[in-house]
Chain A
Amino acid sequence: MEITIKHEDSLIIELAGRLDTNTSLELDERIKKEEIKENKVIMDFKDLEYISSAGLRLLLGLKKELGKENKELEIHNINEIVREVFQVTGFINILNIK
């Protein structure tokens, strides 16, 4: 799993590989280290192969954290399998997917 974090107008987190049990832990640690000043966090899933429930939990937790500070979470560039996972689990309803 490759994680690239860019501070632009928004905080951009680019993921490549799998977002599963182990990599979710890794990503969680990386995000906790970041000081999020931007009002919006964009997760770019362009190169993400798939996401498992561990990844879903991370997204939900992150969304809640950001919500407390009135910050937004956007998910960009999801592939077919990620969309399927979001649909099956209902995450499609709560995430801001672009």
Chain B
Amino acid sequence: MKFKIRTKIILLGASLSFILMLVAFILSFNIYRDRLKSDLNQSVQESLNNLKADFNDDLKNDLKAIKDIVQPIYDSDPDEPEFEDLQDRLNYYQNKYDAFYVKEGTLGMSYDKLNNKTRYLNISGMLSQMVINSDGKIAYITYKDEARNREIILVDFQYQLNNDVGTSSRILGSYFAARDEDNNESPISINYYKKLDIILDGNLIGTVYLEYDEHLVENNLEYFFKTEIIALGIAVVILVIVYAVLAHLTVVKNITKLHKATEQFTVSLQEGNIKKIEIDVKSKDELGELGKKISLMEDEMIDYTNRLALDAKEKMRINTELNLASQIQLATLPSPSFKIANLSLQALIKPAKAVGGDFYDYFYLDDDHLAFVISDVSGKGISAALFMMRAKELIRNKLLAKLSLKDACFEVNNNLLINNEAGLFITSFIGILNLKTLELKYVNAGHEKPYLIKNGVVKKLDCQANFVLGGLEDFEYQEEKIKLETNDRLFMFTDGLNEAINIEKEEFGYQRIEQILLENKDNDIEIVLKKLDNGLQEFTKDLDAFDDVTMVILELEKNNLKFSYHGPKLDVIDEIMEKVNSKYGFIDKKRLSEIGIILDEILNNAISYENVGNLQLNLSLEILDNNLKIILETDGKEFNPLENDDKYITGIDDELSVGGFGIKLVKNLSDDIKYERFNNHNILTIIKHL
């Protein structure tokens, strides 16, 4: 329930007070009722006792005299028949004796029939006095008609009160039928009575009945009930008010203060304007303690928030520097894309943090030898990045110093061990490719084995298990070699790739790498790396990379082009040019233009001046040892374009010899040119240095 603590405390107090008052009420009500009853009984009994004392022998004789008058009347007819109906009986007596009359269901006899009226009045006077003095209602004296088991009234207290006999409902000599002696019911009408036997000389003359009304008690109780309810209600209200005031002073006030203070503090915290809120709770109980503790917590939180703000600033500064460091670090790596006459290389590096410990490198050792390296530094972050720079330069320097691969590794290893308290090391795959012979020498220093993709088959390159670089002093590294062929691919990577995990803690694994390599064996190597990267991202989803990921792929390319036409038209020149430009895009632009001019001239020459309808034209281009060799072979009659005079124009009216300028240009732009006639074919061979 959403009540405030103040309401709750008041409700609780009110409930308890109410229950308490209810119990008090029920208890006091019962006690009071019992007391009232006992008081009534006592007063009635006392009156009867008084009457007994007052009832002297004279009065008793008087009563006997009255009885002596009445009794014979009722006893006179022993043969009285049985009556079914009361009224019949009453009628019977009325007829029998003219002093009787029937009134309101009783049989009456006038007191005038009595001989001594004074005696009667004395006794009835005593009875009425008793009724007045006590809490009784009515009183009368009867005798018992044993034979018929009836009570006959001898004296009625009311007589004196109502002088007119006719108005009395209980008349002297009244007769009550079928009154049971054991019946608690009074002979007349009222519920409760006490009786007193009047005895003279050992004989029972009559019995005094004093009836009283217990409704008197009930009426008193009703009054008591009303007044007590009001009194208790007022008491409950006063109790609750006192309770509420006391609760407020001792508890609620302090709780409200604590609540207000913490609320203000929370608001200040949320608004980013944190400030101390003093708590004014002086009580020495738990609430006072709580106030002190909250105050302490405020101080702690203010301190913490301030420190956090400082830390955030510092962190931002460090991040900025890390980003700069990352840019510098990546700038030390060579271009991710490298293409020469018969080799293409693509690299991709993704540091897990701003700066990473992975690196790749490649560089010429001389015109014919290309070295390449892929490495993974143990550890991550700045220390790994610094170590990476050191390792990278070491490997480069040692290899450029013309050391053999294994000696270079030996040197690098020992060098990395110097001043290496942090115990960092690197795993590396280092290769040196002879661009002429395609022989690859390599050392695998604790690194992931690269994949060799050959003839459409993906498999790991056989590697010796050498120790890491910077691990063990004077370790002798084993150098291996393999002869590669054109169209071979070598895929190198760091373990950040295969050990990348997804949200289910599953590793990316070798199988996925192999599958992607295989699926993309005919795609450009740039696309292969993109597919691997995409595959990795799809696999790890939003999970941050745990380790740096580096991939390098190398492809030995077949750079030969062959064209063969039967009956070519001039537009095949365009077709050839497009292919040459796309295949030899790695060649220097000016050189490529020169090759374009050469090809245009010799093709133009061949196609324009032969009987082209039946001409068979074969053109082949081949790159060997940094030379482009162009061979143009045509059938038909012997034609040596080199025999044409070199044309040099001196004026605009010079004759425009068609082949002249062309052949001169070709000769000038080529490094070697020769013509042969072989098997009825004209063979023009041109060499162009690249």
Contacts and interface: CB of A to CB of B under 8 A. Distances in A.
B662 interface: yes
How many A residues touch the partner, as a band?
A: 20 to 34
Contacts of A50: 593-594, 596-597
A91 B662 contact: no
Contacts of B650: 90, 93-94
A71 B521 CA distance: 60
Interface in A53-79: 53-54, 56-57, 60-61, 63-64, 67
A96 to B, nearest CB: 11
A89 B570 contact: no
Given A52-B604, A93-B650, A94-B652, A20 B665 contact: no
Interface stretch (A2-10, A34-42, A80-88): A80-88
Contacts of A49: 589, 593, 596
Contacts of B601: 52-53
A81 B593 CA distance: 7
Given A52-B662, A57-B661, A89-B661, 17 more contacts: A20-B577, A20-B604, A21-B604, A22-B570, A25-B570, A52-B597, A52-B601, A53-B660, A53-B661, A54-B600, A57-B658, A61-B656, A63-B652, A85-B597, A90-B648, A94-B650, A94-B652
Contacts of B589: 49
B70 to A, nearest CB: 159
16 contacts: A20-B573, A20-B596, A49-B596, A50-B594, A52-B597, A53-B604, A53-B662, A56-B661, A57-B661, A60-B652, A88-B665, A88-B668, A89-B647, A89-B649, A93-B649, A94-B649
A80 B590 contact: yes
B603 A57 contact: no
Contacts of B596: 18, 20, 49-50, 52
Contact of A94 (B603, B647, B651, B668): B651
A25 B590 CA distance: 24
Nearest to A95: B652
A61 B597 CA distance: 20
The SS class assigned to the A binding surface is helix
B590 A91 contact: no
Contacts of B651: 94
B209 to A, nearest CB: 146
Contacts of B600: 18, 20-21, 52, 54
A22 B574 contact: yes
A67 B653 CA distance: 11
Interface of B: 570-571, 573-574, 577, 589-590, 593-594, 596-597, 600-601, 603-604, 647-652, 656, 658, 660-662, 664-665, 668
Contacts of A85: 597, 665
Contacts of A57: 656, 658, 661
Greatest chain A CB density within 10 A among B597, B647, B658, B660 is at B597
A60 to B, nearest CB: 6
A88 to B, nearest CB: 5
A7 to B, nearest CB: 25
Given A81-B594, A90-B648, A91-B649, A52 B571 contact: no
B143 to A, nearest CB: 156
A80 B589 CA distance: 11
A88 B664 CA distance: 8
A90 B649 contact: yes
Contacts of A93: 649-650
Given A20-B600, A49-B596, A89 B577 contact: no
Contacts of A94: 649-652
B649 A60 contact: yes
A85 B594 CA distance: 9
A18 B577 contact: yes
Contacts of B649: 60, 89-91, 93-94
A95 B278 CA distance: 96
B6 to A, nearest CB: 88
A7 B625 CA distance: 50
B391 to A, nearest CB: 42
A67 B597 CA distance: 28
